[in-house]
Amino acid sequence: MRIYLASSSPRRAHMLAEWGIPFSVVAGDADEVMLDAAPENCAAQNALAKARSGTNHVDAGLVVGADTVVACEGRILGKPLDEGQARDMLALLEGREHRVITAMAAVLMPEKMEGARTSITRVFMRRLSENERDAYLSNSEYLDKAGAYAVQGLAASFIERTDGPMDTIIGFTMSDFYALCAELHVDMRR
């Protein structure tokens, strides 16, 4: 069975490659939206939209889309548009708990069978000094990250502890991927 990743995320591609799963990347043209819905629903809707848009480029195989959002104090944090927005996000996150939600959706083609899963990890970010914040924001890493940080990147030292799967924070929950494959009867051994 051919696997197609409807994502331009190098982290997601790296995770699949690390697990030795052969795949191809297809364009996932869906725009991410931050709805007033629950963060889990927002992530799930975005992941499904990405997977569905990826099917426009595939005749047969499994198309996988994923979306990660950060939720804190009732707000959904996507990717910051600029340094000011990233600074505001970090100010909201530091010194408190927040949730990182990664939703995965898959569409089996040509049958158009769909499945979706959502995983949540609680993250505790320590308080940052102004120097730490400024040094971090002087690098552009935050621009492509929900909540303006990457646990596997320069912000790793900001995290005091986590409760839940680490790969959920990175943006591709492998246990959910395998569960979707099983749910859609995709044999990964072929």
Phi, psi of 95 (to 5 degrees): 80, 10
Active site residues: 67
**Residue 135 CA: distances (Å) to CA of 109, 110, 130, 138, 148:** 46, 49, 8, 5, 14
- Which residue stretches of 59-189 are H helix? 83-93, 130-137, 166-170, 174-183
58-74: string of b/e by CB count within 10 Å (b at 16+)? beebbbbbbbbbbbbee
Residue 75 DSSP class? E
103: which strand partners? 67, 118
Phi, psi of 108 (to 5 degrees): -90, 120
